[in-house]
Amino acid sequence: MIVILLGPPGSGKGTQVDQTCQKYNLLPVATGNILRNLIATNNICEKSLAKMMGTGELFPDEIVNNLVVEAINNNVCNADYTYKNNYKGLLFDGYPRTVGQAAFLENILNKINKKVDCVLVFNIPHSMIVERITARRVDKTTGKVYNLISMPPPPEVIDNLIQRIDDTEEVIKNRLNIYKKQTEPLIEYYSKSNLIKNVDASKEFEITEKNISLALQEFV
Ligand code: AMP
């Protein structure tokens, strides 16, 4: 099963990744996390690129596409295109973000006899987004995402939490504009192949989790 999570920043995609991947044995491919790790370990040295993370601008398609190819190559056998490490599929979070990336993904999946099964669109009123994002905290060791309001962290991890540099009110506006212009057109792109399933992501974590299970049940 290959699933894409699509939705504006703050719609709660990241908080659902762990649970969904565990439940269906999917490999998470979260390009934002991969890029953050590369920056933290000085593997993206070009300052202008590293700076993009703080402004919400999108990295060039070529860079992100190459990271996705690497993640797929590391987890799919060359010989028969089965998944390694007991995975049963892939879950993309934050990728594709442009129509160009979507076309590229289709192409590379084609080459390994696979296709996207479902695109889950996380719907949330824009008025909730700023509140959600400014309350987001990330465990700097595990990368696990919490929300001070909707998914409070357990006391033992509180000292290990950080706020992302792009989770400020000012940057959020830019990220939303970029989402509207460059990523939202993907809804139309994937509608053409009937891949879209809408998820009401405005409720509590458990309700969204249930909505995801309902949307995915026909692919299991
Ligand atoms: P995210 O963690 O998905 O919110 O991503 C954080 C930041 O990483 C984004 O604001 C972009 O700067 C960059 N990024 C992540 N995924 C992509 C992508 N698919 N294409 C371009 N830039 C990306």
Whether 134 maps to a domain, the answer reads: no
Q: Is residue 44 pLDDT above 80, yes or no?
A: no
Residue in the block written with tokens 């084609």: 110
What's the confidence (pLDDT) of residue 174? 93
Instruction: Give this prediction's pTM.
Output: 0.93
Contact of 11 with 122, CB cutoff 8 Å = yes
Rg (CA), the chain: 17
Domain count, the chain: 1
Helix ranges, 141-204 (H): 169-178, 185-191
Whether 143 maps to a domain, the answer reads: no
What's the confidence (pLDDT) of residue 87? 96
**What proportion of the chain, given as a percentage, has pLDDT over 90?**
82
**CB distance 31 to ligand 1 below 6 Å:** yes
Q: Answer whether the bond into residue 8 is a cis peptide, omega within 30°.
A: no
Whether 177 maps to a domain, the answer reads: no
CATH number at residue 208: 3.40.50.300
Whether 209 maps to a domain, the answer reads: yes
Q: What is the pLDDT of residues 48-103, one digit of tens each?
A: 887 888 899 999 999 999 999 999 999 999 889 999 999 999 999 999 999 999 99
CA-to-CA dists, residue 94 to 59, 161, 192, angstroms = 12, 21, 20
Whether 164 maps to a domain, the answer reads: no
Whether 180 maps to a domain, the answer reads: no
Question: Average pLDDT in the 158-169 region?
Answer: 93
* Domain ranges, residue 100: 2-124+185-219
* Residue of 97, 172, 183 with the most ligand 1 atoms within 8 Å of its CB, for mutation: 97
Whether 69 maps to a domain, the answer reads: yes
* Residue of 16, 17, 35 with the most ligand 1 atoms within 8 Å of its CB, for mutation: 35
The per-residue b/e assignment along 139-170, b for 16 or more CB within 10 angstroms, e otherwise, is eeeeebbbbeebbebeeeeeeebeebebbeee
